[in-house]
Chain A
Amino acid sequence: MTVLTDPPKESFRLSMLINDKRYRSLTFQAIALILLIMAISYLASNLMANLAAAGLNISYDFLGDPAGYDINQTLISYNSQSPHLQAAWVGIINTLLVAVLGCVTATILGVFAGVLRLSNNWLVRKLMSGYVEIFRNIPVLIWILIFYGVITVSLPGARIYLGEDPERALTLGMFAFTNRGIYVPAPLWGPGSMIVVGTFIASIVAVFAYRSYAKKLLFDTGRLLPTGWPSLLILVVPTILAFFVMGQPIGLDMPDPLANRFNLRGGIQIGAPLIALWLALSVYTGAFIAENVRAGILAVSKGQTEAAAALGLRPGRIMNLVVLPQALRVIIPPLISQYLNITKNSSLAIAVGYADITATLGGITLNQTGRAIECVLLLMLFYLIISLSISAVMNVYNNAMQLKER
């Protein structure tokens, strides 16, 4: 028989920081942290000392000075007398615009390509493999330049549409496709147009309400209401009624071929740089998303598909109702990275002259003011905030999609 005795109470000694397993890792982490902070503060103080020696200082006063340059595609009011800060805002909004457009189209493209890559049809499968392999293995900058080059070379100049007797008339009297961009009619908001818009928004809400009611009715009573044509009716009819009741308040501002000798005036111009950048980012990232989608689908056990088939579901419904919802759990985390990639890759916009934040704040403003450190710090801050926001939103979505464990 052994006699158990209490282990002697050891008092804490300094050497235990190294020798005792319980404290060792903490010690090293603390040392690493201190070294890191020292290194960063050394670099920062070195920077400040050198800047001071060169007679320079970190100052953001230049943001209030007039920018002095013009930007072609702006969603908010801007002219060359606006301050640099306004130019930065134009850039931020342009970055967000192309990032959002890119994320939406890349997702649609990626999901289709990913699903079709698993198709039983040999031709479709191989075509999609070709798309994925070609687009994700060539750098996105090259794609941006290719798309821009194709638009520039294949579409005609604007002059072909101009004058009393143009070589080419506007398509449908309202669209023009030139190598400077695509011209579409712009809506003119007359008095009372807000009521029409309000009606339309209310209709969308009503459609969702109707569909959830139909679903509830189906689950509760087993009665199947039609959803297709009633949804369409709810969406369209009240809006059209409101439009005519209010006396057609929304008009169209058509591109005008006669107003100027160089360009079409009026309407909305979707610039060629934006189109090139948007398409390139979409197809490039779409190829990656396709692979994520394929991985997600393959991760769903085959038994699920077979079980669904045994219940008599058609293949399309198996994909929509059984496989994709489960695959989403695998797809979403890498999808977040792809969205971040689109946002960050949009900084290549400068290659085709699209005025994103890198082109305005990090390009022309930086160059004109010479405030390189300030501008680059601001750029880093902007991309960091945007990326973290996308991450946060997507993580919320990811958590909502997680397997609910009760």
Chain B
Amino acid sequence: MKKSVFLGALTVAGLAAGAAAAGTLDDVKARGTLNCGVTTGLVGFAAPDANGVWQGFDVGVCRAVAAAVLGDANAVEFVPTTGKTRFTALASGEIDMLARNTTWTFSRDVDLKFEFIGTNYYDGQGFMVPKALGVSSAKELDGATVCIQTGTTTELNLADFFRKNNISYEPVPIETSAEGQQQYLAGACDTYTTDASGLASLRAAFEKPGDHVILPEIISKEPLGPLVRHGDNEWGDTVRWTLNALIAAEEMGITSANVTEMSAKAGDSPEVNRLLGTEGNLGEMLGLDADWATKAIMAGGNYGEIFEKNIGENTPIGLARGLNAQWTDGGLLYSPPFR
């Protein structure tokens, strides 16, 4: 009798574990909060501010998704993940989505069974060297000691770059960005390499940023984007189109300032109307409210606003839009049409 109860409990537990794999959208709605994996702290992309509130470019995506699904941009449980724990956390269901400047690669998408839902930052790996070295190209770095932040695609790109150019180097793997900075400034390595955006944010923190140059070579493509688990297409669509809504909003001129006004009644532009839910039933197709995109845009503004507020040229990070400008401005941001 007791044994059968125990076995029964086992069966139920097993079934529950199996069922948890699907229906993330329903899970999030039932839970009332979105579990979003972010970095353990990279200023500009995701870091808690002085009040302990998470701020940043990746955080903005999490908040937009929470606003679209739950109607509340603050209904997000931020789960800090390291380069090592991020994929396990997502695969195990501990987090619903991962927005942690993660490079979209074939093996992560296919072999690790994840679904990259788009690119929210086009980055590339670069090198920073002290000006005093007199190096003007990464190809002159033969024999140099290179500090790399470990646990990223940068190590592989670095090995490929030096092998391709048939030059040698000494890697010094570094666990944290702060330690890399210390090593680099003390001259324990000749050059520091990571994503160009990371170099910019690191250099901004130096005492004399002018003494260091970022070499022109960008040796890799690093499309950074949010990702979800493979096999839950409804949830993947929700996150994908929330990101697209932010990008499209910038293209259409919808900002956090005018979104309330524009969504109050149907306007002249049919695509704006469809996006903001005053026309058509796009929200219903996603299983969300009609004003899902309006709420997402209200959360932190459109893509451009989130960019400027967290990593743009007026912030200490000081990144130009570059590749991350709208396609109409010569960048790569291109949202599929909302229809």
Contacts and interface: CB of A to CB of B under 8 A. Distances in A.
Interface of A: 42, 45-46, 49-50, 53-56, 68-72, 80-81, 149, 152-153, 156-159, 179-180, 259-263, 265, 272-273, 350-351, 353, 355, 359, 363-364, 366-370, 372
A336 to B, nearest CB: 30
Given A259-B143, A262-B141, A262-B145, 12 more contacts: A50-B18, A50-B92, A68-B156, A72-B173, A179-B188, A180-B170, A262-B142, A363-B150, A364-B150, A369-B107, A370-B107, A370-B108
A117 B44 CA distance: 53
B186 interface: yes
Contact of A179 (B18, B153, B170, B187): B187
Q: Interface SS of chain B: helix, strand, loop or mixed?
A: mixed
B230 A55 contact: yes
A174 B230 CA distance: 58
B320 interface: no
A56 B113 CA distance: 7
A157 B186 contact: yes
Interface stretch (B51-59, B60-68, B157-165): B157-165
Interface of B: 10, 13-14, 17-18, 21, 83-84, 87-88, 91-92, 107-108, 111-113, 141-145, 150-153, 155-156, 158-160, 162-163, 169-175, 179, 182-183, 186-190, 229-231
A54 B144 contact: no
A368 B148 CA distance: 15
Nearest to A351: B175
Given A56-B91, A370-B111, A70 B158 contact: yes
Contact of B173 (A54, A259, A364): A364
Contacts of A56: 91, 112-113
B84 A42 contact: no
Contacts of A69: 155-156, 158-159, 171
A166 B170 CA distance: 22
A272 B87 contact: no
B18 A262 contact: no
A370 B103 CA distance: 13
Contacts of A49: 14, 17-18
B143 A260 contact: yes
A72 B156 contact: no
27 contacts: A49-B17, A50-B18, A53-B21, A54-B21, A55-B230, A56-B112, A68-B156, A68-B159, A69-B171, A70-B162, A70-B171, A72-B170, A149-B182, A152-B183, A179-B188, A262-B141, A263-B145, A265-B143, A272-B188, A363-B84, A363-B150, A363-B151, A367-B84, A367-B150, A370-B107, A370-B108, A370-B112
A364 B230 CA distance: 23
Given A56-B91, A272-B188, A353 B173 contact: yes
Nearest to A359: B173
A262 B144 contact: yes
Nearest to A159: B187
Contacts of A262: 141-145, 190
Contacts of B156: 68-69, 368
B190 to A, nearest CB: 5
A72 B229 CA distance: 35
A69 B155 CA distance: 6
A364 B175 CA distance: 11
Contacts of B170: 72, 180, 263
Contacts of A351: 175, 179
A80 B163 contact: yes
B173 A355 contact: yes
Given A363-B84, A366-B84, A179 B173 contact: no
A53 B229 CA distance: 11
B175 A353 contact: yes
Nearest to A259: B143
A50 B17 contact: yes
Contact of B186 (A80, A152, A359): A152
B188 A180 contact: yes
B171 A72 contact: yes
Nearest to B231: A55
Nearest to A80: B159
Contacts of B174: 353
Nearest to B15: A49
Given A69-B156, A72-B170, A367-B151, A46 B186 contact: no
Contacts of B88: 372
Contacts of B188: 152, 157, 179-180, 272
Contacts of B18: 49-50, 53
A49 B18 CA distance: 7
B260 to A, nearest CB: 41
B159 A70 contact: yes
Contacts of B84: 363, 366-367, 372
Q: Among the interface residues B84, B88, B182, which one has the most CB atoms of the partner chain A within 10 A? A: B84
Nearest to B151: A367
A42 B14 CA distance: 9
Contacts of B159: 68-70, 80
Contacts of A363: 84, 150-151, 173
